[in-house]
């Protein structure tokens, strides 16, 4: 009987030992799984933060590009506006059917210039970057010339402005 008790106590001890190991093993697995889940959550969180940063940087870059484009368009429109208006005045003066309307257009055109004596340079030829100019004239004389000739043979090639946006010098190129 003692022998049976010893054998059964060994079996019970072995069973208890196996149960303890299994329990400890489950706890270890549980802890490992929690640590793994925590690491996964941390990784996902870092990836989300990186994606948000990248998205913000991309949005800022797009805004900067849009702002640069808007500024470029405004500068281009501003530089074209006087040119387009001048070309319209030149055409109106040259194509005017009577002297009164031509004089009215001349007075309106003169308002774009810093003075009625603003120099007008007419390029008659250009070779290797060297420009050959016709005799300089003033804007008032040039506009009256357009009125008399009733033809506009020149194209605006360069306009210089003062600080208040008025034209201080006009360069025209003779069209062929």
| pLDDT, block means (10 residues), the chain with 176 residues | 61 69 60 70 85 92 91 71 86 91 92 92 88 90 92 89 89 84
Give the CATH number for residue 140.
Answer: 3.10.450
Residue 21 inside a domain? The answer is no
**Cα–Cα distance between 113 and 124 in angstroms, integer?**
23
pTM for this prediction: 0.54
**Cα–Cα distance between 169 and 161 in angstroms, integer?**
7
Displacement of CA 4 from its chain's centroid (Å): 93
Query: How many domains does the chain contain in total?
Result: 1
**Cα–Cα distance between 167 and 82 in angstroms, integer?**
9
Residue 87 belongs to domain spanning: 70-174
Instruction: Specify whether the CB–CB gap between 68 and 137 falls below 8 A.
Output: no
Spatial CB neighbours of 79, under 8 Å, sequence gap ≥ 6: 159
């Amino acid at each position: 009987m003692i022998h049976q008790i010893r054998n059964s106590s060994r079996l019970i001890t072995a069973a208890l030992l196996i149960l303890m190991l299994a329990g400890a093993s489950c706890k270890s697995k549980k802890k490992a799984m929690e640590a793994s889940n925590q690491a996964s959550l941390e990784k996902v969180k870092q990836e989300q933060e990186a994606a948000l940063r990248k998205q913000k940087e991309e949005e800022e870059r797009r805004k900067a590009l849009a702002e640069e484009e808007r500024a470029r368009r405004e500068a281009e429109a501003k530089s074209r506006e006087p040119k387009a208006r001048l070309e319209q005045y030149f055409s109106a003066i040259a194509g005017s059917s009577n002297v009164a309307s031509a004089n009215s257009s001349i007075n309106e055109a003169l308002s774009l210039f810093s003075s009625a004596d603003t120099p007008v340079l007419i390029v008659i030829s250009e070779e290797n970057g060297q420009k050959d100019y016709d005799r300089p004239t003033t804007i008032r004389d040039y506009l009256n010339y357009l009125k008399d000739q009733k033809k506009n043979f020149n194209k605006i090639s360069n306009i210089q402005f003062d600080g208040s946006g008025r034209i201080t010098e006009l360069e025209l190129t003779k069209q062929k």
